């Protein structure tokens, strides 16, 4: 396959994912057909199935891609200072910034992060591979007795739930998304839930 053909295939795949994102968020997973995704992406239904064998494979790939975008953005903007609480706060604040900057992607997370449509292996890959730096920070905090010694998978789910709750609040109250008092309060609520 030539480079331009590969680029066209990549462009079609991205168009499918972008169309699926908008449709899943605005219509819901079950109300969105593969035909409507293909039409919105400007590709044939057969092209969609060439890239994705099912609608479930689309939503799982979308989940991983958005998690990767989220992880890349917050890690590249976080100055790590080798202080677990400060590093956690920096990550938290950058995660809020990402959510404010990417409202459609954040709405996708709010709707589908805890959904049965995202399979357990996909969630596990997102948490342990893509967000591995969060795992590392929690383990560092546990080794230093700064973070509670709860089982790591349970602690990670709790952290995820705390983040989704904060983002739901800021999504519902966008005028407070840049209010330092509320942002710091959201971190303190999160931190109190996990610290030793």
> Which residue spans of the chain are classified as CATH 1.10.10.60?
1-53
pLDDT (0 to 100) of residue 3: 59
Q: What is the pLDDT of residue 2?
A: 60
pTM of this structure: 0.88
Give the Cα-Cα-Cα angle 19, 21, 5 (nearest 5 degrees).
45
Write down the CATH superfamily of domain 61-194: Tetracycline Repressor, domain 2 (1.10.357.10)
Fold of 1-53: Arc Repressor Mutant, subunit A (1.10.10)
The predicted structure's pLDDT at residue 7: 60
**Alpha-carbon dihedral sign for residues 184, 71, 162, 58:** positive
- Where does the chain hold its CATH 1.10.357.10 domain(s)? 61-194
Place of tokens 């049965």: 116
Each of the 196 residues of the chain gets a pLDDT tens digit; together they read 565 555 666 789 999 999 999 999 999 999 999 999 999 999 999 999 999 999 999 999 999 999 999 999 999 988 899 999 999 999 999 999 999 999 999 999 999 988 899 999 998 888 888 989 999 999 999 999 999 999 999 999 899 999 999 999 999 999 999 999 999 999 999 999 999 9
Backbone angles phi, psi at 32, to 5 degrees: -100, 125
Q: Is the dihedral of CA 37, 42, 45, 48 positive or negative?
A: negative
């Amino acid at each position: 396959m030539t480079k331009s053909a590969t680029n066209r295939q990549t462009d079609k795949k991205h168009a499918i994912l972008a169309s699926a994102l908008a449709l899943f968020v605005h219509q819901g997973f079950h109300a969105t057909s593969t035909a409507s995704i293909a039409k919105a992406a400007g590709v044939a239904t057969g092209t969609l199935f060439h890239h994705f064998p099912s609608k479930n494979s689309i939503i799982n790939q979308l989940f991983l891609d958005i998690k990767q975008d989220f992880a890349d953005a917050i890690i590249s903007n976080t100055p790590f200072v080798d202080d677990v609480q400060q590093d956690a706060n920096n990550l938290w604040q950058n995660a809020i910034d990402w959510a404010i900057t990417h409202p459609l992607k954040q709405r996708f997370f709010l709707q589908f992060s805890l959904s049965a449509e995202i399979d357990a292996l996909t969630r596990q890959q997102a948490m342990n591979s893509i967000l591995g730096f969060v795992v590392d920070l929690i383990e560092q905090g546990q080794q230093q007795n700064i973070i509670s010694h709860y089982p790591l998978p349970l602690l990670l789910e709790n952290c995820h739930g705390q983040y989704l709750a904060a983002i739901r609040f800021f999504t519902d109250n966008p005028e407070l998304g840049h209010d330092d008092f509320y942002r710091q309060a959201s971190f303190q609520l999160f931190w109190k839930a996990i610290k030793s």
